Amino acid sequence: MDTPIQVNRDKLRQEKATLESAIEGVYFLLNAINSAIDGMAVLNQNQEFVYVNDAHVQIYGYESAGELLGSHWQMLYPEKEQRRFDQEVIPEFLKTGRWHGKATGLHKDGSTFPQELSLTTIEEGGWICIVRDISLRVKMEAELQEKQRASLHQAYLAGIAENAVSVLHNIRNAITPAIVNVHKLLSDHHHEQLLDYLERSCSLLNQHAQTDELEHFLKENPKGQQMLPFLNQLIEQLKVEVSQERETLAGIDSQLQHINSIISLQQKYANFHGLQESFRISEVISDVLGMMQPAFEKRNIQLHTQFEPIPQAFTTDKNKVVQVLMNLFKNSVESIDQQLQQDASLLPEIHVQVSLIDSDTLNLTIQDNGAGASEETLRHVFEFGFSTKDRGSGFGLHDSANFLRSIGGEIRLHSRGSGMGATAQLTFPIAQGDT
């Protein structure tokens, strides 16, 4: 039977073993904390440091924990950040017992750095702080944003270039008939023959007028008898020539006016990049159709429009919307060109429909009976750099899809297959309360 002394000794051995195990666990925990990449610190009720790990010391640019222990937390933050903590962070932290967010720390050398900070209260009234230096992350995010901005700008410039090419192509389509008519006027020498006849007739009449035989010549001479009918015939022919030339000049004037309208529409949207403004989507579509009209007329494309009255205004970058629409209509025209090469009897058509899906979503559908698209093409059509055209940039539809997603919209492309035409369906969010 064990004596009381023996029992106490065994109990002491167990307690010692438990204590040693606990101490070992504490040392293990402290080593783990000191080895952590995140800065960890404990503050007392006076908000003074009573413990900091090695990472915490290094993050703030100090050499040893002794430089921080006993100091107030404010020494590690610039004055502006101290005020923010006092006014915003600490009141919220004391209510919930937890706070996590971004802050600006202060190095020993006076430089600042971005950080993620987590605060937790402890029962004794102190705080536990966990700090992570996110300078590298912020730098990488800034570089990524710059690359994205450069990519978007590149896509924007590519869109501008494609639109400019389309507009120049449309101007060329409109100016070609004018050039043909001008060449016709310059190469038509028939009026010179009429003038030559008049000069001869006037010379003959003058000869007889000088000898006072003009009356006899006109009444008795066979040539003179034909003179007045001949002059009347010349006058009538001149009237016809003048009328035809007036029609030709009117046609040239109309074509030049059309060219001027295309240029005016292009200039209307030349300086709106990045500006947010409210506008009627149907008006913008009509302007784009005006810019595309020469391309439609050249191919005898029948245009069918159905615009449901939309009382709400649409607020976004108007120039980007024009780019999207120009790109889609240009694609429809090129698709129709491809199909006409396969089927010269095709009667090309483009249908444009605008309607409301609900009170805050607009639907735009552009349907053509061009070459269509295969399932494989439809799977990749919005990918960056993808194009089925030899000289395609692969920017247009990719940039259009990105823009629509950025404003909460969407674009989809449907086709029943090659030679079956295609339908582009776009949805736009529209502003509420604007009329």
Tens-digit pLDDT profile for residues 356-411: 888 788 899 999 999 999 988 888 888 876 777 665 556 678 888 888 888 889 99
Mean pLDDT of all residues in 244-250: 74
pTM of the model: 0.47
* Structure token pair of residue 132: 């992570």
Residue tagged 């079956």 (tokens): 420
Above 70 in pLDDT, residue 170?
no
Which pLDDT does position 414 carry in this prediction? Answer: 93
Question: Of 253, 254, 269, which Cα lies nearest the Cα of 166?
Answer: 269
Mean pLDDT of all residues in 277-293: 85
Above 80 in pLDDT, residue 101?
yes
Which pLDDT does position 163 carry in this prediction? Answer: 62
Which pLDDT does position 223 carry in this prediction? Answer: 72
Say what angle helices 190-210 and 222-268 make with each other, to 10 degrees.
140
Q: Which of 25-34, 70-79, 215-224, 374-383 has the highest mean pLDDT?
A: 70-79
Which pLDDT does position 262 carry in this prediction? Answer: 63
Mean pLDDT of all residues in 164-170: 66
Which pLDDT does position 317 carry in this prediction? Answer: 82
Above 90 in pLDDT, residue 79?
yes
Above 50 in pLDDT, residue 99?
yes
Which pLDDT does position 390 carry in this prediction? Answer: 60
Portion of the chain with pLDDT greater than 70, in percent: 73
Mean pLDDT of all residues in 316-345: 89
Domain residue extents for the chain: 36-133, 140-266, 272-429
Which pLDDT does position 315 carry in this prediction? Answer: 81
Which of 90-99, 129-138, 213-222, 419-428 comes out lowest in average pLDDT? 213-222
Which pLDDT does position 10 carry in this prediction? Answer: 64
Portion of the chain with pLDDT greater than 90, in percent: 27
How crowded is residue 229: how many other Cβ atoms within 10 Å of its Cβ?
A: 9
The per-residue pLDDT for range 255-267, each reduced to its tens digit, is: 677 666 666 666 5
How crowded is residue 58: how many other Cβ atoms within 10 Å of its Cβ?
A: 13
What 3-state class would DSSP assign to 193?
helix
CB-count burial class (<10 Å; 0-12, 13-18, 19+) for 306: exposed
What 3-state class would DSSP assign to 61?
coil
Above 70 in pLDDT, residue 244?
yes
CA distance 150 to 170: 30
Strands 349-358 and 302-307: parallel
The per-residue pLDDT for range 1-34, each reduced to its tens digit, is: 556 556 566 666 666 556 555 555 444 444 544 5
Question: Of 354, 285, 280, which Cα lies nearest the Cα of 311?
Answer: 280
CA distance 169 to 178: 15
Which pLDDT does position 272 carry in this prediction? Answer: 47
How crowded is residue 312: how many other Cβ atoms within 10 Å of its Cβ?
A: 19
Please indicate whether the domains covering 36-133 and 272-429 agree at the CATH topology level: no
Which pLDDT does position 156 carry in this prediction? Answer: 62
Above 80 in pLDDT, residue 139?
yes
For the chain, the average pLDDT equals 79
The domain made up of 272-429 is a member of CATH 3.30.565.10: yes
pLDDT band at 201 (very low <50, low <70, confident <90, very high): confident
User: Going by C-beta distance under 8 Å and a sequence separation of 6 or more, which residues neighbour residue 290?
Assistant: 261, 262, 265
Output the furthest CA–CA distance in the chain (Å, rounded).
176
Above 80 in pLDDT, residue 240?
no
- Asked if 354 contacts 434 with a C-beta cutoff of 8 angstroms, the reply is no
What 3-state class would DSSP assign to 316?
strand
CA distance 94 to 74: 17
Mean pLDDT of all residues in 348-353: 95
Say what angle helices 135-187 and 318-342 make with each other, to 10 degrees.
60
Mean pLDDT of all residues in 135-158: 78
- Asked if 291 contacts 262 with a C-beta cutoff of 8 angstroms, the reply is yes
Q: In DSSP terms, which residues pair with 363 in a beta bridge? A: 355, 427
Mean pLDDT of all residues in 95-106: 92
Superfamily of domain 36-133: PAS domain (3.30.450.20)
Which of 35-44, 88-97, 397-406 comes out lowest in average pLDDT? 35-44
Question: In degrees rounded to 5, what are phi and psi of residue 114?
Answer: -80, 145
Question: Of 135, 145, 139, 129, which Cα lies nearest the Cα of 36?
Answer: 129
Mean pLDDT of all residues in 331-349: 92
Above 70 in pLDDT, residue 180?
yes
- Counting DSSP H helices and E strands in the chain, the numbers are 12, 12
Distances (CA, A) of 105 to 31, 48, 116, 411: 25, 16, 9, 45
Question: Of 341, 370, 366, 339, which Cα lies nearest the Cα of 355?
Answer: 366
Distances (CA, A) of 68 to 30, 119, 238, 300, 413: 18, 18, 106, 82, 63
Which pLDDT does position 199 carry in this prediction? Answer: 76
Which DSSP letter does residue 312 get?
Answer: S
Phi-psi sector, 349: left (phi>0), alpha (psi -120 to 50), beta: beta
Residue tagged 């919307």 (tokens): 321
Mean pLDDT of all residues in 227-234: 75
Which pLDDT does position 87 carry in this prediction? Answer: 93
Above 80 in pLDDT, residue 46?
yes
**Who has greater pLDDT, 90 or 187?**
90
User: Going by C-beta distance under 8 Å and a sequence separation of 6 or more, which residues neighbour residue 375?
Assistant: 417
